[in-house]
Structure 1
Amino acid sequence: MRRVRYESTGGPLFLEEVPVPEPGPGELLVRCEAVGVTLPVVRKVTEAADPIALGGEIAGEVVAVGAGVTRYRSGDRVTGLCFGHGYADYAPLREEMASSLPDEAGAVDAVALVRSGLIALGALAAAGPERDAAVLVTAAAGGVGHLAVQLARIRGAARVVGAVSSSDKADFVRSLGADEVVRYGDDAWGEPVDHVLDGVGGDLLTPAIAALAPGGRLVAYSSGGGTIQAYDLLVGAKSVIGFQMARIARDEPERYERWRRELWRLFARGAVRPVVHAEFALADAAKAHEVIESRGNLGKVVLRP
């Protein structure tokens, strides 16, 4: 089978031929029909000291199961987050990270909706009550952000603000239901908000904290790091909380499954619309990474093995 790999930090991505892996205990082996490209993986390729396995959201058909797997069998269609080599024709998937696809759902829909949508729902839940709140979403045109904008509106936010890297994304973010769109470089981000859902991190944390109203909360789900000054929290009684979906999937499977079902219900009735910016062949994984690195995507970037 084909697999994408690289050999040094920031090094070129290339295809290699390797044997089809065997599923280990508690694993499914999935024939990949679609693979979602995520910002954390792109960042690790350029920043990690040692090469990593290129994982991410995958969707496709189960072709084998490992010892101890009870919920799935060959022929089932699933999606989930692969922590091993996911940029491949076949990929391992932990059973607890997998979820079934509805009969009417395509693999591309799944990688654009499920993982990113779960993070968006989880970030909203971590922020606190959304109804009648003002919510600001950073990276609002990205894979998670474009769903978070829609879900904040669906869950009753009185005002939704999208923060983006460039003004040419404004019309797209407004089409998702945002009332206002601000740019990262703007001196101020408008009237204060109750919650910030941050998928960027780094230097953006300072203006994101400043955008909060007194008592507001920032939910960080980015891999971008960054530093927050304690005084910036103290002066307005503001708070910051981190959100990690892997912990929910591992420790709260019922909640994970409830959110997943909610996403598919919203999708089935057309209430939430996952947007795919572009699809790339497996051999063009480097081009897919370039789109993410340049912040040029409007929605999800997907590989099609």
Structure 2
Amino acid sequence: MRRVRYDVPGGPLFVEEAPVPEPGPGELLVRCAAVGVTLPVVRKVAEAAEPVPLGGEIAGEVVAAGEGTTRFRPGETVTGLCFGHGYADYAVMSEAMASPVPGDADPVTAVALVRSGLVALGALRAARFRPGEAVLVTAAASGVGHLAVQLARAQGAGRVVGAVSGPGKAEFVRSLGADGCVGYGDDDWGDPVDCVLDAVGGDLLAPALAALSPHGRLVAFSSGGGTLRAYDLLVGAKSVIGFQMALIARGRPELYERWRREVWRLFAEGAVKPAVHGPFALEDAATAHEAVTSRANLGKVVLRP
């Protein structure tokens, strides 16, 4: 089978031939039909001290199941997180990380919708959002952000604003249902909002906090870090809430499952439609990573083995 890897931190990515892996106890072997490219994996390639397997979100057909698996059988289509080599024709993932794909949905849609949609919905829930409130989404054209814009609209937001890295993304964000779009460097982000869903962090945290009205809530769910002054929270009685989907998946599986069903329901009703940037062939994995690094993507970046 083909597999993407790299030998030295920072690059270059290349395709090699490798044996098809064997699923161990509690694992599934999946024939990958779609692979989601995530910012954390892209950052690991550039920043990790040693090369790491290119894992992440995969979707495809189960072709073999390891000892002790009970939920899925060969022939079923699943999606979920792979912590080993996921940029490949075949990948192994824990059955506990897998979820079913409805029969009327294709794997590319599944890999673009499920994990990113769960993060977007979870961030909205963490913000204690109420219908009628105004919501601002940073990285509004990203894999998570473009779904967060749609989910805020579908959940009854009174106003939805997208914040993006460049003016070329404004039309795309408005097509998702946003009422307005602002650039990160704009001096004026418009009228204050009740909630900010921030997927960027870093230097963008301060203007994101400033965009909140008194008693507003900022949900930080990026890996970009950043620092805020306590005084800026105090004067407006504002809140910053950290959100991490992994904690929900591990600690509250019943809530994770409920959100998963809700995301698929909203998709079936037409309220949420994932946008795919690509898909790219495995041989073009470096180009897919560059789309994420340069913030050129509109929607979810997907590889299609």
Give the TM-score range, shorter chain.
over 0.9
- Work out the CA distance in 2 between the residues paired with 1:130 and 1:87: 39
Is 1:140 the counterpart of 2:134 in the alignment?
Answer: no
Q: Counterpart amino acid of 1:87?
A: Y
Residue 214 (structure 1) shift: 1.5
Equivalent residue for 2:56?
56
Q: Counterpart amino acid of 1:211?
A: A
Residue 226 (structure 1) shift: 1.6
SS state of the match for residue 296, structure 1? coil
Q: Counterpart amino acid of 1:269?
A: E
Is 1:25 the counterpart of 2:28 in the alignment?
Answer: no
* TM-score, scaled relative to structure 1: 0.97
Q: Counterpart amino acid of 2:121?
A: L
- Work out the CA distance in 2 between the residues paired with 1:136 and 1:109: 25
Aligned residue pairs: how many? Answer: 305
- Work out the CA distance in 2 between the residues paired with 1:129 and 1:279: 33
Q: Counterpart amino acid of 1:144?
A: V
SS state of the match for residue 31, structure 1? strand
Q: Counterpart amino acid of 1:253?
A: P
* TM-score, scaled relative to structure 2: 0.97
- Work out the CA distance in 1 between the residues paired with 2:214 and 2:87: 44
- Work out the CA distance in 2 between the residues paired with 1:67 and 1:250: 22
SS state of the match for residue 24, structure 2? coil
Unaligned runs of 5+ in 2: none
Q: Is the 8 A contact 1:216 1:239 kept in 2?
A: yes
Equivalent residue for 2:87?
87
SS state of the match for residue 194, structure 1? strand
Give CA-to-partner distance per residue, 1:62-117, whole Å, 9 cap, x none: 11122322111111110011121111111122222211011110000001111110
Q: Is the 8 A contact 1:30 1:92 kept in 2?
A: yes
Q: What's the RMSD between the two structures over aligned residues?
A: 1.2
- Work out the CA distance in 2 between the residues paired with 1:133 and 1:53: 42
Equivalent residue for 1:222?
222
Residue 235 (structure 1) shift: 2.1
- Work out the CA distance in 1 between the residues paired with 2:270 and 2:183: 29
- Work out the CA distance in 1 between the residues paired with 2:9 and 2:71: 38
Give CA-to-partner distance per residue, 1:108-135, whole Å, 9 cap, x none: 0001111110100000010003311111
How is 1:138-177 mapped onto 2 (pairs within 5 angstroms)? 138-177=138-177
SS state of the match for residue 260, structure 2? helix
- Work out the CA distance in 2 between the residues paired with 1:8 and 1:217: 41
Residue 26 (structure 1) shift: 2.0
Is 1:264 the counterpart of 2:264 in the alignment?
Answer: yes
Residue 40 (structure 1) shift: 1.5
Q: Counterpart amino acid of 2:150?
A: Q
SS state of the match for residue 200, structure 1? coil
Residue 296 (structure 1) shift: 0.8
Unaligned runs of 5+ in 1: none
Equivalent residue for 1:201?
201
